[in-house]
Structure 1
Amino acid sequence: MRRYILSALFTILAFATASAQVSSKVDYKRVSPTEIDVIYTLTPQPGWHIYSTNIPAGGPTSATFEVDSKSGVELVGGLKAGPGAKTVNDPIFEMQVSWFEHPCTFTQRLKLTAKDYNLKGYLRYGACNDESCLPPQSVNCSVSGSDGPSAAASDANAKEADKKKAEAENAKTDPKNALMPADAANAAQQATNNDIPVETMDAEAAAALIGMQLAGDSLAADSLAGDSLTVNATATDGNDHAKWWKPVINDLKALDGENDYGKMSLWYIFLLGLLGGLVALFTPCVWPIIPMTVSFFLKRTSDRKKGIKDAVIYGISIVVIYVTLGLVITALFGASALNDLSTNAVFNIIFFLMLVVFAASFFGGFEITLPSSWTNKVNDKSEKVTGLLSIFLMAFTLSLVSFSCTGPIIGFLLVEVGTAGSSILAPTIGMLGFAIALALPFTLFALFPSWLKSAPKSGGWMNTVKVTLGFLELAFALKFLSVADLAYGWHILDRETFLALWIVIFGLLGVYLLGRLKFPHDDDNQHTSVPRFFLALCSLAFAVYMVPGLWGAPCKAISAFAPPMSTQDFVLDKTQVEAKFKNYDQGMQYAKQAGKPVMVDFTGFGCVNCRKMEMAVWQDPKVVKLLNEDYVLISLYVDDKTKLPEPQTRMENGQEVTLRTIGDYWSYLQRTKFGANAQPFYVLLDNEGNPLNASYAYDEDVDKYVEWLNKGLQKYRSK
């Protein structure tokens, strides 16, 4: 559903600062003559959370304190988190994690061991919201002085000397080798030493050969695994490296303007509202009112032109009323609040319960009506005034009287388009489409009164429309419950459970349409009309279509609604995609020689939505074929904590940044080349490092993803 019209602004902000979603400050507190506390205070923006300390291995980024250099100082214990952490069960990592949703503190105590002391260090932490994660962030600190103990601690100095010696040895290692998987590098080196043919090696070992070449090693190889390509045994051309790292932010923005992947267009929202209004017309609360209202306007005056004019004004009044409702919703919730609610577990439960209540109302369990006093007061007022105000109040009366039928449709429409994250105008545009559809028959029947004679008469078919809507609202309610279920890790609505419920719902809808299931307001008519038969056929066929999904079939038609495949216990097809390159330069060099385009996947070990995309989208056979056969896939983990041989400094936006880990290295690449900072983030490149299509973020729509990949492939082949 979700992506955002404000994404361009977010991209600019993300490029400007790596920690825009979390503000930080550092305080220093002298707790004794020989002890100092370094206190970090972090404040996340609404909707974001910061992970606490002691997250188990294999989980999200844990808060830690790291040291760049120190003398005359020792750490006392580990980093301590302040109060207020919330512990939840993460279904993706299958472990309990703790995070802070409000301002929090982390404290590291230092012990002074010499009169002159100095420490340079940093706090490293991870932050996420329900849509994306920031790469591991760092907040620097510096402690120095000459008021420590008069006697130096010889043991501390000895340890420091040993550390510097070890760092000097590590500095001899080429940085690029540190970015290469150790097992692959060893396999490549062993293959070279023993004259093992490279074509018999796996792709990772072949990639390691390229990595060694990038580092300047003079390794000879005749071909790469499985591709029969000549490999130059020289280091990468400096021009290639410069082209691959050249910023393409403006190019991506231009492409993002052409393609709106993951966003619901305003035209689509308008059409969705129009469809909702057309459905509302055929409910028992609206359809019977149309001929009575049109006849009233045509008979209230002998001047037919004036009657038509009044009916047109009546229709315009309906549009004004519902568009005003959309504007009020936007004003109350703000530009992005409804989108923020789209992944909020509590509000998804509320949406679920609301749609279940609407469904029960449509089934005939009760009627959702506004207080009758409201309708009476508005109706009385319309009779006492004249002119345009009288017509407007009559339209307002229609809105109140028909609420029991239109309310659930409007509620579903507002929830669906409001949480789509498309635009601050989404609710208003949706209401505009709804109102036009609702007002159109009043105007048309006034202009062409003879049409009233051929219009369908009121009857039991209108209740069939209501009950059918009840089934649909009940089905969509499960979508919102699924979001909450994934967030809290309840596992009460895993994929097979969700599919089983949808199979039952649409199966019962088909049975109802065939007249074998009755609700309180249904008549006793025994025959099944032709339209009902075909609708029943479609509903039952859809139920049968979902049955293979219980055994792991992708069921593409519902991929946007069903929980991810990872929640399903039994899956027959184990097809997977796995990146063979975890190094950008290695992957680009391989792609250049293989003559293939590249997909760069900026991901993270602690990125929940990255795992969702991999499990829900990358397992689709069409995606598997494209990524495994037509693209070179490079996955760069921005939270990889593997240390670089030595910290590297870079200038970014006029400020000096320090890259300490491989994750920092790839995060810097993402920010400076692509102007983005959140994960998951996918971009398609040619062999020169230029984008082939718009970037792609979190959106589990498989068809959109395949379309995105195919468009990039076509552009690459056309060059």
Structure 2
Amino acid sequence: MKKKFLLSCLLIIMAWLPSFAQIQEPVKFKTELKTISDTEAQIVFTGNIDAGWHVYSTDLPSGGPISATFNVEKIQGAELMGKLTPQGKEIENFDKVFEMKLRYFENTATFVQKFKITDASYQIEGYLEYGACNDENCLPPTEVPFSFSGKGNAATATVATSETKAETVNQPAAENSVAEATAIDSAATVALSDNETSVQDYWTPVIKELNSYGETTSQQDRSWIYIFFAGFIGGLLALFTPCVWPIIPMTVSFFLKRSKDKKKGIRDAWTYGASIVVIYVALGLAITLIFGASALNALSTNAVFNILFCLMLIIFAASFFGAFELTLPSKWSNAVDSKAEQTSGLLSIFLMAFTLSLVSFSCTGPIIGFLLVEVSTTGSVIAPAIGMLGFAIALALPFTLFAMFPSWLKSMPKSGGWMNVIKVTLGFLELAFALKFLSVADLAYGWRILDRETFLALWIVIFGLLGFYLLGKIKFPHDDDDNTTSVPRFFMALISLAFAVYMVPGLWGAPLKAVSAFAPPMTTQDFNLYNNEVHAKFDDYDAGMEYAKRNGKPVMLDFTGYGCVNCRKMEAAVWTDPKVSKLMTDDYVLITLYVDNKEPLPEHIKVMENGKERTLRTVGDKWSYLQRSKFGANAQPFYVLIDNEGKPLNKSYSYDEDIDKYVDFLQTGLDNYKKEK
């Protein structure tokens, strides 16, 4: 009863979580002043980073995400020594979206700035600015303020420590202090210009009104389900290969005949299937324990290892085509098989399952290898185990089902050339995905040998050849001489050839959303006739609101950033849809606000936020503050629909590439606007 009560409470709490604002606080920094000598000291910033997030390092290339920077507002009796220095475990990977190598920290980030003490006493004030992202969104440039003073003598120097958090706030605090958050002093009133009236009403918080629509949370993480089913499909494909399919009836018959008790035979078959699951799940866990989740994730974006992944898949494809057989040493399987004969009970059954795993390696190895490479991109500790669980369940299922229903064995398709067709088809698919990994390395080194049109041309050829193979026009060493094409092969050929034709317009710049996750970015396309991009009418909130009011139109606010990866994904995959672009262009005034815009404001703006005074120095600071104070959110991408008086028309929208959902989001806001009018 207690367990049920606790579970009910937990479910209620989880159900209420989305109703809170979307203010996120994934990074917490501590600042500390450490005296090195009578004449030297250093300021140390130590940040604790939530799982899944990372903080970017210093001195990143232009055009990339926000670099960590040290900014001084007041300094007396001291002078800086060198630049801000990152310390600790810095990760460097190539980012396909920015097309550059980026350096960042996970779990913990440490930055150190040294300064020289030049007077008997000193004072230094300023802030650390940094950028943080996860797989779905990014925070705006965030400041960690500091203020230290001390004396030049080490014996009397003040070693001050101050705890500061990222300039993000919890939702309850945001709601309780909305009056403070909008208390902009008279010198910093937000206005269109000196000659126009104040439009501060546009900045009035609408957090409660927005919540009344039911806030949209970030897209749920479906990766584990995806990984499980990817593994399950891989296991089904492995079943229909020459290494596994012929073994099924022999194994099931063995279990049923070796015991006079039918129930015991079925129980043995179930144990056999469970042993297969245990073996492959253990393999998935072993991979993670050996390499580590973060190492797998790092390898997935490392240029050298992507070349190795590419070569591995090409070797697997050649094996499936019949160039050679990938087999484990025969003495391994013989040793395990003989050990199984010498033992009895559960151990004997487990060793038989282990023998199957070794004997079928030539067919299952390439599938498992590809699966493990794919799940490495998740960075999850248990992702390989989940993939192997799906694979093993699919592989073990027929052994248990046929043991329970032996009559089904008679209806099993007989072994034949169709199994080799499956192997060769898998070979073509492995070859196609090998190009995906080569593309990462090509972008990293700037070879430009695999631009988007080259990649698509190779895929067109691969899937075209697959179609001709399925029609019997191409033969490989292990294929039989039967020239007839079965109905399933014909439909598979039709799909493959149609997919090849579908990709042809991509050579001239068509977006090809079905392959956008695999192909190189559009920026590598040399010849592009496609032009269906949506551009904002305004990049200034107040000016855009005045225009919308004069023209009687609702407003769509796009809080974005130059370093926001998923913002670019939404613009490429969703905004280019005809329905979406028509609604955004014809029915809304689109205002795009870059929260990382470094253009300085004409004069600094002082605001009170959660009882603390904060200085807005750049245009990006201004728009970031608007997003936090008015809408109670701080992550990008963030889309919100408002009328021309600043009131919300629908729940907000974050990163989700579902076009139908986005159209519904826009249409609902438009309908609500018309009802108000």
* TM-score with structure 2 setting the length: 0.76
Aligned partners of 2:86 and 2:110 also within 8 Å: no
**Aligned twin of 1:474:** 431
**Aligned twin of 1:682:** 638
Identity of matched residues, %? 58
Q: State how far apart, in whole Å, the 2-side matches of 1:624 and 1:349 are.
A: 38
Report the residue type matching 1:380 in the other structure: S
Q: State how far apart, in whole Å, the 2-side matches of 1:711 and 1:244 are.
A: 22
**Aligned twin of 1:316:** 274
Alpha-carbon shift at residue 295 of structure 1 (Å)? 1.7
Q: State how far apart, in whole Å, the 2-side matches of 1:134 and 1:690 are.
A: 22
Report the residue type matching 2:73 in the other structure: D
Change (3 A) 1:407 1:147: closer
Aligned partners of 2:18 and 2:216 also within 8 Å: no
Change (3 A) 1:27 1:145: closer
Q: State how far apart, in whole Å, the 1-side matches of 2:464 and 2:444 are.
A: 29
Moved more, 392-401 or 280-289: 392-401
**Aligned twin of 2:166:** none
Alpha-carbon shift at residue 383 of structure 1 (Å)? 1.5
Alpha-carbon shift at residue 216 of structure 1 (Å)? 8.3
Deviation string 1:534-573 (CA, Å, 9 cap, x unpaired) is 3222212211111110001122221222222222111102
Deviation string 1:602-629 (CA, Å, 9 cap, x unpaired) is 3323445544554565445444334323
Report the residue type matching 1:356 in the other structure: I
1:228-267 counterparts in 2 under 5 A? Answer: 235-236=198-199, 238=201, 241-244=203-206, 255-256=216-217, 260=220, 263-264=221-222, 266-267=224-225
Q: Please give the secondary structure, in 2, of the residue aligned with 1:120.
A: strand
Q: Please give the secondary structure, in 1, of the residue aligned with 2:617.
A: strand
Q: State how far apart, in whole Å, the 2-side matches of 1:128 and 1:641 are.
A: 18
Q: Please give the secondary structure, in 1, of the residue aligned with 2:432.
A: helix
Aligned partners of 1:11 and 1:675 also within 8 Å: no
Q: Please give the secondary structure, in 1, of the residue aligned with 2:217.
A: helix
Alpha-carbon shift at residue 372 of structure 1 (Å)? 3.0
Q: Please give the secondary structure, in 2, of the residue aligned with 1:354.
A: helix
> Over aligned residues, Cα RMSD in angstroms?
4.4
Alpha-carbon shift at residue 681 of structure 1 (Å)? 1.6
**Aligned twin of 1:274:** 232
**Aligned twin of 2:9:** none
Q: Alignment partner for residue 604 of structure 2, among 630, 634, 646?
A: 646
**Aligned twin of 2:243:** 285
**Aligned twin of 2:177:** none
Q: Alignment partner for residue 358 of structure 1, among 301, 316, 319?
A: 316
Q: Alignment partner for residue 543 of structure 1, among 483, 500, 503?
A: 500
1:713 aligns to 2:666 (yes or no) = yes
**Aligned twin of 2:460:** 503
1:571 aligns to 2:548 (yes or no) = no
**Aligned twin of 2:415:** 458
Report the residue type matching 1:548 in the other structure: P
Q: State how far apart, in whole Å, the 2-side matches of 1:585 and 1:454 are.
A: 72
Q: Please give the secondary structure, in 2, of the residue aligned with 1:68.
A: strand
Change (3 A) 1:576 1:516: same
Q: Alignment partner for residue 120 of structure 1, among 102, 109, 125?
A: 125
1:384 aligns to 2:363 (yes or no) = no
Alpha-carbon shift at residue 353 of structure 1 (Å)? 3.4
**Aligned twin of 2:616:** 659
Alpha-carbon shift at residue 578 of structure 1 (Å)? 1.8
Deviation string 1:386-440 (CA, Å, 9 cap, x unpaired) is 233322322222122112211222232333345357x765444433332232222
Q: State how far apart, in whole Å, the 1-side matches of 2:260 and 2:582 are.
A: 71
Deviation string 1:60-108 (CA, Å, 9 cap, x unpaired) is 54565544346x66967985768999999988778x8885768554456
1:154-233 counterparts in 2 under 5 A? Answer: 175-177=189-191, 211=192, 217-218=196-197
Q: Please give the secondary structure, in 2, of the residue aligned with 1:369.
A: coil
Change (3 A) 1:276 1:631: farther
Gaps of 5+ in 1: 1-5, 149-170, 178-210, 219-234
Q: Please give the secondary structure, in 1, of the residue aligned with 2:368.
A: helix
Q: Please give the secondary structure, in 2, of the residue aligned with 1:438.
A: helix
Q: Please give the secondary structure, in 2, of the residue aligned with 1:256.
A: coil
Deviation string 1:296-350 (CA, Å, 9 cap, x unpaired) is 1222233334333332332333333334444555666667765565545555444
Q: State how far apart, in whole Å, the 2-side matches of 1:463 and 1:367 are.
A: 13
Aligned partners of 1:39 and 1:105 also within 8 Å: yes
Aligned partners of 2:211 and 2:651 also within 8 Å: no
Change (3 A) 1:323 1:74: closer
Q: State how far apart, in whole Å, the 2-side matches of 1:90 and 1:457 are.
A: 48
1:634 aligns to 2:591 (yes or no) = yes
Change (3 A) 1:550 1:68: same
Moved more, 311-320 or 345-354: 345-354
Report the residue type matching 2:204 in the other structure: A
Deviation string 1:452-503 (CA, Å, 9 cap, x unpaired) is 2332211222111111001112212222333444455443322112111111
Report the residue type matching 1:398 in the other structure: L
Q: State how far apart, in whole Å, the 2-side matches of 1:454 and 1:76 are.
A: 81
**Aligned twin of 1:224:** none
Report the residue type matching 1:412 in the other structure: F
Deviation string 1:645-702 (CA, Å, 9 cap, x unpaired) is 22424334x6654433222233344456666655x423333446558456433x7xxx
Q: State how far apart, in whole Å, the 1-side matches of 2:545 and 2:651 are.
A: 17
**Aligned twin of 1:435:** 392
Number of residue-to-residue matches in the alignment = 618
Aligned partners of 1:463 and 1:521 also within 8 Å: yes
1:595-614 counterparts in 2 under 5 A? Answer: 598-607=555-564, 610-611=567-568, 613-614=570-571
Aligned partners of 1:247 and 1:672 also within 8 Å: no
Moved more, 359-368 or 348-357: 348-357
* TM-score with structure 1 setting the length: 0.72
Change (3 A) 1:485 1:389: same
Change (3 A) 1:129 1:716: closer
Q: Please give the secondary structure, in 2, of the residue aligned with 1:400.
A: helix
Aligned partners of 1:247 and 1:674 also within 8 Å: no
Gaps of 5+ in 2: 1-13, 154-184, 673-677
Q: Please give the secondary structure, in 2, of the residue aligned with 1:571.
A: coil
